Amino acid sequence: MASSTDPATTTRSERLADYLERAQAGEAGAIDAIVRELNPLLWHVARSQGVPLSDVSDVVQNTWLELVARLAEIRSPQALTSWLVVTTKREAWRTNRRRQTTEPDDTLADVADEAPEAATDLITDERDRVLWRTFHQLSERCRELLRIVAMVDRPDYGVVGEALGMPHGSIGPTRGRCLAKLRALLVADPLWEPS
Amino acid sequence: MSRPGGRHDHDDLEVPGEREGIDELDVEILDRIAGLHGQVDGPPDDFDDEMVFAVAAAELGAELARLEEQELVAARGGEESIQAMSFVASSLTILLTITNLGGERVRIDGWLAPGARYDVQLRSRRASAADRRTVADEAGRFVIDRVRRGLLQVVIRPSSGRSVVTPTFEL
């Protein structure tokens, strides 16, 4: 897409503001740019809500189609990001509930989907292995928050924490409880040496 | 899993450093968390294209028709295939009945309620398959014959007002 918005020199927030304005003006292709910018975030939101791999496409796609329906109501890039996070969460919840009622025996697959120990074998960097192991000592809510916050740009940390309903343990402008806890565990671990 | 307003599983003891500003080490930790999740549980390569395809035909303001029900039948090789599916939007219900024609082809019998002469577009993600278009009759019925199996999507356009779009579905 021809664009004045060069990903190398602008922040995500600036790019999203530009795409949003053009999409709302009806420019074909501008919505695609929003999708490509925030799609990985929505993937991780869905996965952090326990959505099995087979259902992630449905969850995220419904979110994007809901956005198309409601695009006119979105006022800013921050509002866009937090609206997408909240909507993905709601769609995930809807899909999980639907699956539980139609396939009550399907729970084993979900657990198998998520084994962090198995994943450790895939991680080659030693510090990453320490981080991964330590990360999984945190509460489920802290893991959810940090996984999703890690996917967004710094100015959006706060709105995303709020969108997840977790202002209390949240991040930005201060470190927040979840990140402080993880950091303290890491710093106390002799295998984790700050670079 | 998370609860709105949930303070419950955070004890009220303050964690040292939680009120400090974010520094380089915090940013490094978050970057590594993002990288690790991308590596261990990231989206497939095709994910962006798949989502872009799903929104490509939806005009601004188009209403999403959610999948309500699908009926499966046993097909060759023990796999299941879809025999009927319904999608519901606030203004329209879409019912599709699928007949296997063999050789990767199906016939789709559609019924839109309330019935009217809507424009019907069937999109296929196969690069070689052109979109199929037809118009429903007064009762909202339409047929699209010899459709190649694959990832499909239906877009319904009334003569005036919002169009209605289904999620993509695999036949």
Percent of chain B having pLDDT more than 90?
64
Distance of residue A66 Cα from the nearest chain B Cα, in angstroms: 6
The verdict on B108 and B29 lying in the same domain is: no
Q: Tell me, yes or no, if A151 comes closer than 8 A to chain B by beta carbon.
A: yes
Q: Which residue of B has its CA nearest to A116?
A: B40
Rounded-to-integer distance, Cα A81 and Cα A65, Å: 15
DSSP for B84-114 reads: EEEEE-SS-EEEEEEEEEETTEEEEEEEEES
The verdict on B15 and B74 lying in the same domain is: no
User: Could you tell me which residue, A173 or B109, shows the higher pLDDT?
Assistant: B109
Q: What is the pLDDT of residue B152?
A: 95
Number of domains in chain B: 2
Q: Indicate whether B144 belongs to any domain.
A: yes
Q: What is the pLDDT of residue A5?
A: 63
Q: Indicate whether B10 belongs to any domain.
A: yes
The verdict on B35 and B69 lying in the same domain is: no
Q: What is the mean pLDDT of residues B108-130?
A: 92
Distance of residue B55 Cα from the nearest chain A Cα, in angstroms: 6
Q: What is the pLDDT of residue B81?
A: 77
**pLDDT class of B78 with cuts at 50, 70, 90:** low
Q: Tell me, yes or no, if A172 comes closer than 8 A to chain B by beta carbon.
A: yes
B80 pLDDT higher than 80: no
Q: Indicate whether B79 belongs to any domain.
A: yes
Rounded to the nearest integer, the mean pLDDT of chain B is 88
Distance of residue B83 Cα from the nearest chain A Cα, in angstroms: 17
Q: Tell me, yes or no, if A188 comes closer than 8 A to chain B by beta carbon.
A: no
Q: Indicate whether B68 belongs to any domain.
A: yes
Q: What is the pLDDT of residue A124?
A: 81
Select the residue of B21, B47, B67 nearest A39 (Cβ to Cβ): B47
The verdict on B103 and B64 lying in the same domain is: yes
The verdict on B54 and B128 lying in the same domain is: yes
CB contact under 8 A, A35 and B48: yes
pLDDT tens, N- to C-terminus, chain A (195 residues): 445 566 666 888 899 999 999 999 999 889 999 999 999 999 999 999 999 999 999 999 999 999 999 999 999 998 999 999 999 999 999 999 888 877 666 554 454 455 556 677 778 888 899 999 999 999 998 999 999 999 998 878 888 888 887 766 677 777 888 999 999 999 999 888 755
Residue A46: CB partners within 8 Å, gap ≥ 6?
A: A55, A56, A59, A60, A88, A91, A92
- Give me the phi and psi of B33, to 5 degrees please: -60, -45
The verdict on B69 and B114 lying in the same domain is: yes
The verdict on B121 and B147 lying in the same domain is: yes
Nearest Cα to B149, choosing from B114, B99, B109, B115? Answer: B99
The verdict on B26 and B95 lying in the same domain is: no
Nearest Cα to B156, choosing from B58, B78, B75, B72? Answer: B58
Q: Tell me, yes or no, if A69 comes closer than 8 A to chain B by beta carbon.
A: yes
Rounded-to-integer distance, Cα A84 and Cα A6, Å: 23
Q: Residues of B with CB below 8 A from A32's CB?
A: 52, 55-56
Q: Residues of A with CB below 8 A from B69's CB?
A: none
The verdict on B31 and B58 lying in the same domain is: no
Q: Indicate whether B150 belongs to any domain.
A: yes
Q: Indicate whether B154 belongs to any domain.
A: yes
Q: Which residues pair with B93 in a beta bridge?
A: B88, B113
User: Could you tell me which residue, B24 or A155, shows the higher pLDDT?
Assistant: B24
Q: Indicate whether B157 belongs to any domain.
A: yes
Lowest mean pLDDT among A8-12, A61-65, B11-15, B151-155: B11-15
Q: What is the pLDDT of residue B11?
A: 54
Q: Indicate whether B45 belongs to any domain.
A: no
CB contact under 8 A, B37 and A172: no
Q: What is the mean pLDDT of residues B131-135?
A: 95
Interface of A with B in 92-111 (CB under 8 A): none
Q: Tell me, yes or no, if A140 comes closer than 8 A to chain B by beta carbon.
A: yes
Q: What is the pLDDT of residue A24?
A: 94
Q: Residues of B with CB below 8 A from A147's CB?
A: 33, 37
The verdict on B9 and B77 lying in the same domain is: no
- CATH (domain of B141): 2.60.40
Q: Which residue of B has its CA nearest to A117?
A: B40
Residue A20: other Cβ atoms inside 10 A: 21
CB contact under 8 A, B41 and A47: yes
Query: B105 is in which domain, residue-wise?
Result: 50-170
The verdict on B13 and B64 lying in the same domain is: no
Q: What is the mean pLDDT of residues B29-33?
A: 95
The verdict on B109 and B34 lying in the same domain is: no
Q: Which residue of A has its CA nearest to B18?
A: A176
